[in-house]
Structure 1
Amino acid sequence: MLFPIPEGLTPSDKNKINSFLPIRNKGNEFKWDTITGLVLGHVLKKVVKNYSLDQFREACQARFIAKLDEPGFWPVLDRMYFATEAVFHISPLFLLFKSQQKGSGKSELGAENLRMAELFAGLLGNTFLFDDIPDNLNFIEQEMLNVLRSELKAGSVLQSQEQPYLPYLAAHFQDDITFLACHPQYMLQELTNMLQLYAFSYCAQLALHVTDWKAGIPASKPLYFILDNEKASKERVAVQYYGHKLFSESSKRLFPMLSALEVLQIQSPKRPLWQVYRDALAYHDQPRLLAELNRYLHDFAESRTLQPYWCEAQNTEQAFDLLRELAIRQFESEKDTRSEINNKYVKELEKQVGANFIQSRGRAGRVLVLNQDQLLLLTNLAIGQRDKLRLHELIKGFEQRGFYLDSQSQQVLVSFYERMGNVERMSDSGDAVYVRKTL
């Protein structure tokens, strides 16, 4: 078995992260149409390269003039599909234009967009999902799609170098992408919204797990939301203490712990901290590993002037506990620039990823919120290929994706479904309430 951490570790002067988190302390102005195209291209393993929309338009013009009895009909199609950009609403495949790589460089795609898209590539892993998206188009749109398909190249701009940090979330993400692909028009409408849902859920769940490596392979942790038409109340314990407050406090540990994890990587793909810990406990020469960890932790404490908090660990488990304490303590001094940098990470996470999920509600403070569009999307994703689900199974589907509702919110949710007309009541029992998809 390989030595589970790099040998001869030396503390760096700077904390940095290059994996598992798409946020940096600045430069996070994501373009979600670009990200959507990148993710879709990664799923399909197809790209549009060195082929502009103008070239595509010219190819369509040539094809239709050759096929139509009325060549003068082309200007009508041109106005219908290209002048209005309606061409992007024909099939999800046209989203690949939004993320095409020009030449051999990626710089025009934006580093922040690549980071976010690579998060989803990590969730997708190497699992083969599908190689095309079914279509049911009219003659004109089918011809346009055929022109595009003839120009698609094999490959993907994205290359994930990470093991999934949250395997349970990766499994549901793969299921949900596959479900959307079976409904192309719904995919066109909701793929970007789904990616934004998962971006927030991933970052929030990662924050909840990042110091909990001893628990082993992660499972979904409670994080409570309310519906946007609900009144927030300070008396709702789950919402107050296991909602935004928990998310905000947990987020402060992301940069400290992930920057500490960065130096422990020995190979590609990069491993989550819980996997590094498991590998360390399973290593056959524990005295050698412990000596290396103690040496590094001593040097780290000295370089950060944290000597009062360093003591020699007696075993590997204690060494990892000490790593957590030192990694977090280095950011606690408000006079230190490290604290300012960590605060920027937290603010950027809330601003760029959490903006659609966080609201201020007067005396109740800030809360996590789901609006009606997000609820309907979550409902359809949780039901998936089935026609309907029992209410409690549906709530479990929400929770598996990182979205928890207390009993009061669940009652409001049922009322919302009843207004939508997608509820079947077999009896007054909650177990006999079925919810149907809205597709």
Structure 2
Amino acid sequence: MNSAVKDLIDFLKLNPEKQYIKYMHKFGYTLLPFFTREPERYKFEEEFLEVTGIIARISKGNKPELSDLNQKFIENLRKTVEVPDNISDNQLLEIFQTAFKNTKRSQLIPYISISDSKDKKGKIQVANLLVQLLDLENNKDWLNYLSGQNANNLYSQVLKDSLPALEIQDTNKEKFTLINANYYKSLFTEDFHILMESGNFDFISLNINKLFSFYYLIYIVYTGSSILDRNENNKRYYFAYEKEQVSRSRYAVTDGYHEVKELSADILVDIDIMHYLNVLSGNFIINNPETYSSEKKLAELLSLDSKELLTLLQNLQSFKGIYSQTISHDYIKNNISVETDIQNELVKEINELKEWLKMDESLETQKRYRKSYDEIKQLNYLKSRGSLGNVLNASQEIILLFTAIVVGNNEHLLLRRVFEGFEHHGLFFDKTSKNEIVKFYEEVNLLEKMSDSGDAQYVKSIL
């Protein structure tokens, strides 16, 4: 038996005699910040504000957890300024608010505390993913933003001087297997640099949670729907503008969240199979962390050379032989000859294994794991359209945010270029949606017509 096959069998404790298997879902690094247990799943009930605070702390090397600041703040405040004895702690807290969820001061973002809710672990996981995906610990603009903006009045100075020091991170962070990380990192780096160049820090602070939440949305949508996709073709998932009406034939319905939902319906099984294939290919070695970051999706594995593909196919057949004996599935192993189309045969074997796992793994566990997609409705990225179901939703706030980023510090930008910039960020709209967005631009006085015919339309800068 090949060592990779043996490693996988041992890891899953596969035992045909006892007909026993332990379905393990974590092999090395985590792919998505989803959970098989409902309480830990992030519910998005605070508009991504607490996650933004966690992101800021992790980026600066501090512990992600931060609970109530009040006691330490009051102690420091009484040391910093002379407070009359007849002023109570509660009165001081009415003057100096320490709930910074709506702060415009970037230095206070790391002090956005995290509530002691059941989904605290989920919030920290999401924050860890984004810090690693966007490489925020090494993003100079982001770190400068968090440390910049000196206090410009006495109130702000007293507040700043009285805040307790944040604790240093002293434990290992959860690590993630990142898919297409360079794309997301470079895109965010460019976006945030544009925002910082504008010097409009109020705009950044009011929108930073939306920017992070959108990157999270796009990452899970495009990553989760492509794990076992054999093609690397660029997919397009369409949004609808929140104020428009949609019909069944619209792209937002046919090529939007409905398709995402179908492709991610078996996300837990898909991830399990991705792990299996990476182990069986020798690309991932269990208990060898140096290999954990090199996991590949199916499309990448199918691009291996013919010898490596043949090894993967043979190892998968060997594994399925043992698995089928353990769980009592009928399995007919196809003989491999020089005429065998290795890629197609491998895909057939994978599809059969997927059907087995969908039946064998707990259905409730599978449903709970996938539910993280539906939770994004709390962030207003999904909107129910009656009998048409949920569609990806672009709010006016998101349109204005990415209009600001795409137009940047130019005086204005050709309308066509603005929509191209949207698409570069994963915001796809059909023609009808674009027309509705143009009407919105007119309503908020962002549209300029540079010719009598109206053909040359430009969008003004927001920053």
Provide the TM-score with structure 1 as the length reference: 0.79
Judged with a 3 Å threshold, the aligned counterparts in structure 2 of structure 1 residues 426 and 148 are, in CA distance, closer, same or farther, namely farther
Structure 2 residue matching 1:393: 3-state secondary structure = helix
Residue 356 (structure 2) aligns with? 330
Once residues 409 and 349 of structure 2 are traced to their aligned partners in structure 1, the CA distance between those partners, rounded to angstroms, is: 45
| Aligned with 2:154 (options 111, 119, 140) | 140
- Structure 1 residue 423: Cα displacement: 1.9
Which residue matches 1:256? 269
Aligned residue in 2 for 1:307: 330
Match 2:23 to one of 14, 19, 28? 14
**Contact 1:360–1:366 (CA<8 Å) still a contact in 2?**
yes
Which residue does the alignment assign to 1:125? Answer: 135
Change (3 A) 1:422 1:127: same
The equivalent of 1:56 in structure 2 is 73
1:43 equivalent in alignment to 2:37: no
Partners in 2 of 1:204 and 1:195 — Cα distance?
A: 14
Letter in 2 for 1:223: Y
1:383 has 2:397 as partner: no
Partners of 1:308 and 1:395 in 2: CA distance: 51
Contact 2:449/2:457 (<8 A) preserved: yes
What SS does structure 2 have at the residue aligned with 1:89?
coil
- Displacement of 1:233 after TM fit? 0.8
**Conservation of the 8 A alpha-carbon contact between 1:383 and 1:389:** yes
Report if the CA contact (8 A) 1:226-1:368 is conserved.
yes
1:179 Cα deviation from its structure 2 partner: 4.6
**Contact 1:240–1:367 at 8 Å: present in 2 too?**
yes
Matched residue SS, 2:368: helix
Q: Distance in 1 between matches of 2:428 and 2:87?
A: 53
Aligned partners of 2:383 and 2:393 also within 8 Å: yes
Per mean C-alpha deviation after superposition, the further-off stretch among 290-299 and 193-202 is 290-299
1:170 aligns to what? 185
Gaps of 5+ in 1: none
* Conserved 8 A contact 1:200-1:354: no
Which letter maps to 1:92?
A: S
Q: Does 1:295 align with 2:318?
A: yes
- Is this contact kept in 2: 1:91–1:135, CA < 8 A? yes
Deviation at 1:57, TM superposition (A): 3.7
Query: Against the structure 1 CA distance between its residues 430 and 21, is the aligned structure 2 distance closer, same or farther, given a 3 Å change threshold?
Result: farther
Cα distance, 1:383 vs structure 2:
3.3
CA distance in 1, matches of 2:88, 2:427: 48
> 1:207 touches 1:254 (CA, 8 Å); kept in 2?
yes
Structure 2 unaligned blocks of 5 or more: 13-20
The question of whether the paired residues in 1 share the 8 Å contact of 2:99 and 2:112 is answered with: no
Deviation at 1:145, TM superposition (A): 6.4
Give the structure 2 partner of residue 208 of structure 1. 225
Give the share of equivalent positions with the same residue, in percent.
Answer: 19
Task: Choose from 260, 272, 295 the match for 1:247.
Answer: 260
CA contact (8 A) 2:30 2:177 kept: no
Q: TM-score, normalised by structure 2?
A: 0.75
Bigger shift: residues 277-286 or 129-138: 277-286
Contact 1:56 1:147 (C-alpha < 8 Å) held by counterparts? no
Contact persistence 2:133–2:184 (CA under 8 A)? yes
Q: Which residue of 1 aligns with 2:17?
A: none
| Worse overlay, 422-431 or 114-123 | 422-431
Maintained 8 Å contact 1:256/1:327: no
CA 1:375–1:90 in 2, change beyond 3 Å: closer, same or farther? Answer: closer
Corresponding residue SS for 2:96: helix
Q: CA deviation at 1:202?
A: 1.5
Q: How well do the aligned residues superpose, as a CA RMSD in angstroms?
A: 4.1
Asked if the contact 1:423–1:434 (Cα under 8 Å) also holds between the matched residues in 2, the reply is yes
Aligned to 1:82: 96
Equivalent AA in structure 1 for residue 320 of structure 2: L
Count of aligned positions: 424
Q: Distance in 2 between matches of 1:50 and 1:239?
A: 39
Q: How does 1:266-305 map to 2 (within 5 A)?
A: 266=285, 267-268=289-290, 269-274=292-297, 277-278=300-301, 281=304, 288-305=311-328
Matched, 1:427 2:451: yes
Residues 391, 430 of structure 1: 8 Å contact kept? no
Structure 1 residue 171: Cα displacement: 2.7
Question: What is aligned with 1:112?
Answer: 122
Counterpart Cα distance in 2 of 1:374 and 1:297: 47
SS in structure 1 opposite 2:7?
coil
What CA distance in whole angstroms lies between the structure 2 residues aligned with 1:121 and 1:173? 11
Quick check: 385-394 or 423-432, which moved more? Answer: 423-432
2:35 corresponds to: 24
